[in-house]
Structure 1
Amino acid sequence: MNIKLLKSQIKTVSSITITGSKSESNRLLLLQALYPEIKIENLSNSDDSVVMSKALSSNSNAVIDIHHAGTAMRFLTAFFATQEGKEVTLTGSQRMKERPIQILVEALNQLGANISYLENSGCPPLLIKGKALTQNKISLKANVSSQYISALLLIAPKLEQGLELTLNGEITSIPYINMTLNLLNQIGVETSFKNNVITVNPLKSVSGDKTIVVESDWSSASYFYSIVALSPIGTQVELSSYKQDSLQGDSVLAELYQAFGVKTVFKGLSIVLEKTSQHQPDIAFNLVKSPDIAQTIAVTALGLGVKCDLEGLHTLKIKETDRLVALKNEIEKLGGDIEVTNETLHLKPFDGNFKLATIQTYNDHRMAMAFAPLALKTELKIEDAMVVSKSYPTFWDDLKSIGFQINQ
């Protein structure tokens, strides 16, 4: 479905409830499959979490299609590798079949797994024959996707000797690794993370009542940070439910968006975003710890006419699409001047003279949501708009509720 966003102005004060973090939900769903005693509240309603939940309850010898869900592909590869006597074929969309998974497969096979490629070497689909993994030491390059690392850490407590994982070099996305370790700690697993070595001790079973409430998704909050940044001074949007000591790397939004004139106030389990001042003329961030908010930040900068330099973006090349190329294509359609490399983005100041454009979404939920706030500056169309259901199914309804004018 394509939609047209008319030039809009949002209410001065509004509020939105956002469902649980996809990142936390998918980790907890895997842990719950390993330890059924765990109970989860405020689970994400995203397509990715629905796919993850369905796959974890599948029967033996199943063909499991996770579509575009990259997190599910990585986590399920590790999970099914440990399921003795179970054989599954794990596949996905055409794009998923192009996304690399060799680093994780090789690591699991070194631990004793039996995983093979059914089509192209290094990519899904995978044939996974579950068995007991007998080894407990592995090394990885530290700059790989944190999802590979988290996949290994999540199954680690079920390995007979636990896991000792050595990361060689500078680590990418430390907050996501810390999120995984924190959730393991919450269910009673002992872990340590010192000098690039992560140790996870084995845990036979979870004791006592283990109900974990998932914090709302900070990545989803990013679009409202952008909306407030593009609105007049005095505009407020309240979002729930969020914690000041969040496990999510994208909670850095509260700090970064000060440069765009947006103040974050924590109020109970909510955050209030308020446009309190003008933006800075130049923005420069290293997003190596939170690459998923790069698209939102780049589009905010475009909407405000701000010079923007982002680095630490090398993982964006292997997402649902090559996000750096996609951003360049769509920003140039609108009249912006942007350069990208394999790990950086450089946006020149923009005069605000937008060209009418239809934004292509490339099967990527974040492309649709990152560009939507520009409707506060110009009319635009979004192609395949329901791609947002991957992480935020009610996104368009929530935008309408705060004043956006949207036509199908």
Structure 2
Amino acid sequence: MLLALHKSTIVENPPKIVITGSKSESNRLLLLQALYPELQILNVSNSDDSEVMQKALKSTSNLIDISHAGTAMRFLTAFFATQEGREITITGSDRMKERPIQVLVEALNALGADISYLETEGCPPLKINGKLLSKEHVSLKANVSSQYISALLLIAPKLKNGLELTLEGEITSVPYINMTLDLLDQIGVKTSFENNKINISPLETLNAHQQPLTVESDWSSASYFYSIVALSPVGTEITLSSYKKDSLQGDSVLSEIYTDFGVETKFGENAITLLKKAECQLKTITCELKNAPDIAQTIAVTSFGLGIGCFLTGLHTLKIKETDRLVALKTELEKLGAQVSITENSLSLEPNQLFSSEAKAQSNKGLGEVIATYHDHRMAMAFAPLGLKTNLQIEDAMVVSKSYPTFWDDLKTVGFKITK
């Protein structure tokens, strides 16, 4: 579906936006619930990815199709490798069949799993013969996607001898690893993370007094509202729930990063209020995002909308997402007149004056440029805030359901004019 965003203004005193539970937390807890059925979870994400996880974990079929859900592919590969006596084929979309999974497969096979490739070596689809995994020592390169690491950590308590995982080199996305470890701690698993070594003790059953775990709302989804407030006049406020100051999510660093854009975060009881306190005074924003790469697209588009530059690093994992996000960002921003350069690990955006005056913004006639999304939910949502500056069209707009199904409705609630 192609949606048109007509140049908009945020309404005064918009209602509080309730954002679905974190996809990252939900998918971890759903896998733990499959291993420990007595675990209760509240505020599970209603994203496509989490629905795919739930459906796959409950399925009795020997063919599992996870479509575009990369987290599900990694977590489910580890889960089914431990399901003794079950033979599973796990596959996905054409793009998923291009996304590497060899690092995880080799680690699981080193622990005693039986996983093989059915098409391209190193990529899905996979054939998995579930086994009792008895080995407990494995090593991984530390700069790989944290989802490979988390997949191993999540199944570790059910391994006969637990797991000792050694990470080689500089570690990427530490907050996501810590999120996994914290959730394991919350269900009673003994864990340790010292230097580059992680130890997970086995846990047969949960404590009889285990309390239900509530999933915090998704900070990645909040990023688009940070962008909206940053692109709005001083004094604009939007309140989001349910959030907490001591979040497990790496993307909560938004509250610090967006102070450079003039946005203040006020923490309340299970909610945050975003306030545009001042205009951005910087000519270029510099961010190291190796611990929060999913917010890179949002930051780049915010910078472009404000006419300032940005230099973003720590982005090497973006090349193996739903699309090559660095190439996609460069292509779509340049459609709008930006000057962008990328490397394997970084993105640089030059300052611009494209939206420096109301007259220039109003001169955009018709429905505006068409932004391609490349089957990537974050491309659609990251570019949407530019609807405050110019007319814009978003291609394949319903791709947002992968992580945030009510996104377009919520944008209308705060004042965006959107038509099909």
TM-score by length of 2: 0.96
Please show how residues 297-308 of structure 1 align to structure 2 within 5 Å.
297-308=299-310
2:8 paired residue number: 8
Tell me if 1:184 matches 2:184. Answer: yes
Alignment pair present for 1:379 and 2:391: yes
Matched, 1:364 2:366: no
Match runs of 1:83-162 below 5 Å: 83-162=83-162
Cα-to-partner distance string for 1:319-347 (whole Å, 9 max, x where unaligned): 00000000000000011111011110000
**Residue matched to 2:168:** 168
**Cα distance in 1 between the residues matched to 2:203 and 2:309:** 50
Q: Distance in 2 between matches of 1:248 and 1:209?
A: 22
Within 5 A, what are the aligned runs for 1:233-382? 233-279=234-280, 280-352=282-354, 356-382=368-394
Q: Which residue of the partner structure matches residue 403 of structure 2?
A: 391
Deviations 1:79-123 (A, max 9, x none): 000000111100000000000000000000000000000000000
Shift of 1:139: 0.5
Work out whether 1:80 is the aligned partner of 2:80.
Answer: yes
Q: Name the aligned partner's letter for residue 399 of structure 1.
A: L
When residues 378 and 290 of structure 1 are mapped into structure 2, their CA distance, relative to the original with a 3 A threshold, is same
CA distance in 2, matches of 1:394, 1:195: 41
Paired with 1:350 and 1:365, the residues of 2 have a C-alpha distance of: 26
Amino acid at match of 1:31: L
Rounded to whole Å, the distance in 1 between the matches of 2:195 and 2:63 is 40
Amino acid in the other structure paired with 1:198: I
CA contact (8 A) 1:236 1:273 kept: yes
Q: What pairs up with 1:183-222 in 2 under 5 angstroms?
A: 183-207=183-207, 208-222=209-223
Task: Please list, as runs of the form range in 1=range in 2, the aligned pairs for 1:12-31 lying within 5 A after superposition.
Answer: 12-14=12-14, 15-31=16-32
Q: Which amino acid aligns with 1:2?
A: L
Unaligned runs of 5+ in 1: none
Letter in 2 for 1:382: I
**Residue identity opposite 2:388 in structure 1:** L
TM superposition shift of 1:316: 0.2
1:47 equivalent to 2:59? Answer: no
Report the residue type matching 1:320 in the other structure. Answer: E
Indicate the residue corresponding to 1:223 in structure 2.
224
Deviation larger for 290-299 or 334-343 = 334-343
Residues 175 and 248, structure 1, Cα contact 8 Å, conserved in 2: yes
Farther-moved stretch of structure 1 (343-352 vs 147-156) = 343-352
The 8 Å contact of residues 28 and 183 in structure 1, kept in 2 or not, is answered as yes
Deviations 1:166-209 (Å, cap 9, x if unpaired)?
00100000000000000000000000000110000000000123
- Say whether the 8 Å CA contact 2:265–2:273 is kept in structure 1: yes
- How far is 1:317 from its partner? 0.3
- Give the residue type in structure 2 aligned to 1:202: P
SS in structure 1 opposite 2:177? helix
Shift of 1:278: 1.1
- Aligned-residue offset at 1:159: 0.3
Q: How many angstroms apart in 2 are the aligned matches of 1:378 and 1:352?
A: 10
Aligned AA (2:206): V
Is the CA contact (8 Å cut-off) linking 1:12 and 1:234 kept in structure 2?
no
SS of aligned partner of 2:341 = strand
Aligned pairs, number: 407
Letter in 1 for 2:266: V
* TM-score scaled by length of structure 1: 0.99
Tell me the distance in 2 between the aligned counterparts of 1:212 and 1:129: 31
Cα RMSD for the two superposed structures: 0.8
Whole-Å separation in 2 of the counterparts to 1:288 and 1:90:
29
Residues 231-290 of structure 1: per-residue CA shift (max 9 Å, x gap) = 000000000000100000000000000000000010111000000011122200000000
Q: In structure 2, what residue type is equivalent to 1:271?
A: I
Deviation of 1:13 after TM superposition, in Å, equals: 2.4
Residues 382-405 of structure 1 deviation map (CA, whole Å, 9 limit, x = unaligned): 000000000000000000011000
Check the 8 A contact 2:187/2:210 in 1, yes or no: no
Amino acid across the alignment from 2:46: N
Query: Contact 2:297 / 2:378 at 8 angstroms: preserved in 1?
Result: yes
Give the AA of the match of 1:217. Answer: D
What SS does the aligned partner of 1:273 have?
strand
Counterpart residue identity of residue 81, structure 1: A
4+ aligned runs moved over 6 Å, structure 1: none
Distance 1:198 1:26 in 2: 21
1:305, 1:326 → 2: CA distance?
Answer: 20
Return the alpha-carbon distance in structure 1 between the equivalents of residues 80 and 244 of structure 2.
33
Residues 6 and 405 in structure 1, CA contact (< 8 A), matched pair in contact too: yes
Alignment counterpart, residue 405 of structure 1, candidates 401, 404, 417: 417
